[in-house]
Amino acid sequence: MCLAVPGKVLTVEERDGTRMATVDFGGVVKEVCLEYLPDLEVGEYAIVHVGFALQRLDEESARQTLELFEQLGMLQEEFGDPWEQAALMDGGPELAGEAER
């Protein structure tokens, strides 16, 4: 499943003519394209989907959403190790450890 997840902008820079940001999603940090929100600034929050910042969001709404996603295990599902997840789906937890080797 691909979620639209709120995140906090940590840094903004231009790379090869494209504004990019480093965004914190409740402890998981990813690179995000700012083409749809070119005026987004450090410290602001945005909804991000498939690597693109789509909509500005206030801090309280972002925190509440991240807390809810965390409680539901959705952040791990969205940002967890895909190899471990595949192993769990295919053969159970005993294979997940083998995926790390």
CATH number at residue 11: 2.30.30.140
Residue 71: what pLDDT? 81
Q: Tell whether 35 is covered by a domain.
A: yes
Comparing 4 with 39, which gets the higher pLDDT?
A: 39
The answer on pLDDT for 80 being more than 50 is yes
Comparing 73 with 47, which gets the higher pLDDT?
A: 47
The answer on pLDDT for 40 being more than 60 is yes
Query: Which domain range does residue 45 map to?
Result: 5-72
Residue 35: what pLDDT? 96
**Could you give the CA distance from residue 70 to residue 78 in angstroms, rounded to a whole number?**
10
The answer on pLDDT for 61 being more than 80 is yes
Residue 75: what pLDDT? 65
DSSP type of residue 6: E
Strands (DSSP E) contained in the chain are: 5-15, 18-25, 28-33, 45-49, 52-57
> Vertex 14, ends 25 and 43: CA angle to 5°?
35
Number of domains in the chain: 1
**Could you give the CA distance from residue 78 to residue 3 in angstroms, rounded to a whole number?**
7
Question: Which residue in this structure is represented by tokens 């450890």?
Answer: 97
Q: Tell whether 95 is covered by a domain.
A: no
Q: Tell whether 94 is covered by a domain.
A: no
